[in-house]
Amino acid sequence: MTASDDLPVRDELRGQSPYGAPQLDVPVRLNTNENPYPLPEELVARIAERVTEAARGLNRYPDRDAVELRTRLAAYLTRTGGHPVNTDGVWAANGSNEVLQQLLQAFGGPGRTALGFEPSYSMHALIARGTGTGWLSGPREEDFTIDVEAARRAIARHRPHVVFVCSPNNPTGTAVAGETVAALYDAAQKAARGRGALVVVDEAYGEFSHRPSLLPLLAGRPNLAVSRTMSKAFGAAGLRLGYLAADPAVVDAVQLVRLPYHLSAVTQATALAALEHTDTLLGYVEELKAERDRIVRELRAAGCEVTDSDANFVQFGRFTGEGGAHAVWQALLEHGVLVRDNGVPGWLRVTAGTPEENDAFLDAVRAVMKEKKP
**Per residue in 322-361, pLDDT tens?**
889 999 999 999 999 999 999 999 999 999 999 999 999 9
Residue from 124, 145, 149, 120 nearest 135 by CA:
124
Q: State percent of the chain over pLDDT 70.
A: 99
Q: DSSP letter for 108, please.
A: -
Residue 39 three-state SS? coil
Q: What is the pTM of this model?
A: 0.95
Phi, psi of 275 (to 5 degrees): -70, -20
Q: How high is the pLDDT of residue 356? A: 98
**Per residue in 15-57, pLDDT tens?**
888 887 778 899 999 999 999 999 999 999 999 999 999 999 9
- β partners of residue 164: 116, 200
**Per residue in 88-141, pLDDT tens?**
999 999 999 999 999 999 999 999 999 999 999 999 999 999 999 999 999 999
168 upstream amide cis, omega within 30 of 0: yes
DSSP E strand boundaries for the chain:
28-29, 90-93, 113-117, 134-138, 162-166, 198-202, 224-229, 242-246, 305-306, 313-317, 337-338, 348-351
Question: Which of these CATH numbers, 2.40.160.40, 3.30.70.580, 3.90.1150.10, 1.20.140.10, describes 18-40+279-372?
Answer: 3.90.1150.10
Residues 6+ apart with CB under 8 A from 125: 116, 118, 135, 137
Confidence class for position 374, pLDDT limits 50, 70, 90 = low
The CATH number given to 41-276 is: 3.40.640.10
Domain spans of the chain, in order of start: 18-40+279-372, 41-276
Mean pLDDT of the chain: 96
